[in-house]
Amino acid sequence: MKQLKLLTITLALFWMCNQVQAQVRVGGGFTYGTKFEKPGLFARGEFQIPDKDFGIVGSVNYYLPKEDKNLGVSETRLALNLDGMYTFASNDFLDIYGLGGLNVLTYSRKNTGFKDKTSDTKFGFGVGAGIRYILESNLVPMAEVRYINGGQDEFFCEYWSTV
């Protein structure tokens, strides 16, 4: 029964994405945070409201673990973002947009010397801007710079492409 429900939901999502294909973009890319000082990977989806300059963006950022072998400490981070997007300037091949929204950061720190593990979740907000270059309808490289306040207090540089 669970498999039937999962199959039905999956087919419904594919159908909905095909119906609004011009308004939905999904992609992934690379990120770098100035405070954590480690690169990361992220997945992102955006929904552009038809015939409007507004959109909704959701992303998940995973950062490579930060380790100090001398102290026996390792840290991992995962960030969830939900942003509103407004396109300021647009033509056939280039978009310039601003972002603003909420951020949830989860991180854990493990100290192998003391066999201690701590984790925490922090909430914040972010603002940023980006540029999108439309090469083809299914190849859209982008670059963004964002500042996240709250749990992270840092700038992010992100590059990604949608398919």
Encode the chain (163 residues) as per-residue pLDDT tens digits: 555 555 465 555 555 554 444 478 888 888 887 777 888 888 988 888 887 889 999 999 898 888 877 777 888 888 899 999 999 988 888 999 999 999 998 888 888 777 788 888 999 999 999 998 888 777 788 888 888 887 666 666 776 666 5
Is the Cβ–Cβ distance between 82 and 105 less than 8 Å? Answer: no
Domain residue spans in the chain?
A: 24-162
Q: What is the pLDDT of residues 119-147, one digit of tens each?
A: 889 999 999 999 988 887 777 888 888 88
Residue 91 phi, psi (nearest 5): -140, -160
Annotate 144-155 with three-state secondary structure: EEEEEECCCCEE
The architecture in CATH of the region 24-162 reads Beta Barrel (2.40)
